Amino acid sequence: MGMSLPGLSVVVPAYNEERRLPASLDRIREYLTERELTYEVLVADDGSRDRTPELVSERAQGWPQLRLVTLPENRGKGAAVQAGMLAATGRRRLFTDADLSTPIEELGKLEAEVDRGAEVAIGSRAVAGSRVELHQSLHRELMGKSYNRLLRALVLPGLHDTQCGFKLFTARAAEACFWDLRCPGFGFDAEVLLRACQSGLRIAEVGVVWRNARGTSVNSMSDSARMLGELWQLRRMRGSLKPVPEHT
């Protein structure tokens, strides 16, 4: 008889996160243990140059639910999340940023929406119930809001915040949304949600607590250009994407 699948997989993409990741993993472990969930935690290492993979491997020796997924080179956050989501085995699959900008304790809000029939539940800083406790720099905040307005107008009407790194999927939805990801960088969140829409999956946007974490850098010129380029790519993809074939 095979082992039963965990109820929840938590995917944490990481690139050079040796300083912030240990405390985040401790918080995740404490929270999931307190709730007595059957779970697994997958750290998807995006070709880190520091000791991130070694730290995860060391912790896994005393934590059987922890797994390391490695990318041989740095390919972008989207590629790391994709690798983790497709390696996961949980009936529900969450991805959360390594800095826990959205506290892991907010998971219950997303689970409640999945319990009500959503197949994708996304944390949001722009709808009722959200609370931003520590803001980004004014430039980054304006850049993010402008991107979301353009995305809503051109690609994903109805969704107000696609970039919050706290999203929960059913196993079926995770496989449908991540199987053939084409945007490994900033635009992956929007591509995943576009795939969800085109696969007919119900998406719930949920207000969550969010706190900007120090240590994340954005190059205003190059990242703005990349965002616009990926937005145009998503606009072109909108008519060509096909739903994932049904698995039997």
Domain range 8-237, CATH class: alpha beta
**Top-ranked range on mean pLDDT: pick from 110-124, 141-155, 181-195, 203-217:** 110-124
pLDDT (average), residues 127-153: 76
Comparing CA positions, the residue from 51, 13, 22, 17 lying closest to residue 215 is 17
Confidence of residue 220 (pLDDT cuts 50, 70, 90): very low
Residues 176-203 have pLDDT tens digits of 999 988 888 878 998 999 999 989 999 9
- The pLDDT of residue 53 is 97
Token pair listed for 176: 């449908």
SS3 126: coil
Lowest mean pLDDT among 42-46, 155-159, 213-217, 232-236: 213-217
- The pLDDT of residue 85 is 98
227 pLDDT above the threshold of 90:
no
Boundaries of every domain in the chain: 8-237
Q: Where are the beta strands (DSSP E) in 97-161?
A: 120-124, 131-134
Please tell me which residue, 244 or 223, carries the higher pLDDT value.
Answer: 223
Between CA 162 and CA 147 the distance in angstroms is 9
Q: Report the helix count and the strand count for the chain, using DSSP H and E.
A: 8, 9
pLDDT (average), residues 3-15: 93
Length of the chain: 248
Contacts of 87 (CB under 8 A, 6+ apart): 42, 44, 67, 69
213 pLDDT above the threshold of 50:
yes
Residues 30-82 have pLDDT tens digits of 999 999 999 999 999 999 999 999 999 999 999 999 999 999 999 999 999 99
User: Whole-model pTM?
Assistant: 0.87
